Structure 1
Amino acid sequence: MSMDTPLLEHNQNSDIDEEKTVKNAVKNFGFESKKLWRLAGPAILTSICQYSLGALTQTFAGQVGDLALAAVSVENSVVAGLAFGVMLGMGSALETLCGQAFGAGQTRMLGVYMQRSWVILFITALLMLPIYVWSPPILVLLGQTSQISTAAGYSSLSCFSSN
């Protein structure tokens, strides 16, 4: 498939003839479904693994005690959730830029966008580092008890250093 080949070819007569039979509709559905699962499968697996990591951590923390469960829950939801959301949002914006550059035939810009994103994401991570370091007082300001805030702060620093 070359860059000049259209992604969708439109031929009215062949479209009508193809969809007239149920067999062809089922065949087309299976073909399109297979393509979709091939593309979406890795993203689905990644999302399940990312969610499972936090869920399993909370499950095991719940076995330790109520304070550990509360601390890990707050850390996963508030501290890590904020950082993950910001970084994922920025990464998703990069994906959009790269798709537009590729679609416009400006493949040189893919490398430029990647290099710029490394610098921007690194600086963003450094700017978000104080949230991890000073999470106990931040959580107290947000209304969390000092005991849970201290435990969540310890959890956020230990999770941060292990990643």
Structure 2
Amino acid sequence: MPVYQYILRRLALTVPLIIGVTLIAFIISHAVPADPVTANLGQKAMSDPEIVAAFRAEWGLDDPVPQQYFTYVTKLLQGDMGRSIKSRRAVAEDIRAFLPATIELATTAIFFGVIIGILLGVLSSLFRNSWIDHVARFISLLGVSLPVFWLALLAL
């Protein structure tokens, strides 16, 4: 099979993959047992039906579920990721605001991870089967085995 056919076939497979991912994300967000209105407005506001109706209309929660998915995908294709419930700003604005710090943190972590990994690898090869090799192997296995979020909490 020529390479261009392989690439075209792989590109064609991305369409159902993207549809599947958006559908799964949408279904999971709707399968949560908590009511989004109660979670955002609180119990006090739930006693006022006008506030609840306004919130449902503002966020499109009063539409049928298939219509909500269609609206979600249509806006996503237009680059509109919606508004953040927490900050009430456009999600794209929040991403734009926090992306530089995220890139800085990721770049620093990758840099130190590569430096430490290369250093441990060189030390392990130079001092094979010594205590240095065993400690380096233990550290590398620990780093691979522990969940990243837990390591991040330890690093704080």
> Is the TM value for this pair above 0.5?
no
Q: Relative to total residues, which structure has the larger helix share, 1 or 2? A: 1
Q: Which has the higher contact order (CA 8 A, sep 6+)?
A: 1
TM-score with structure 2 length normalisation? 0.30
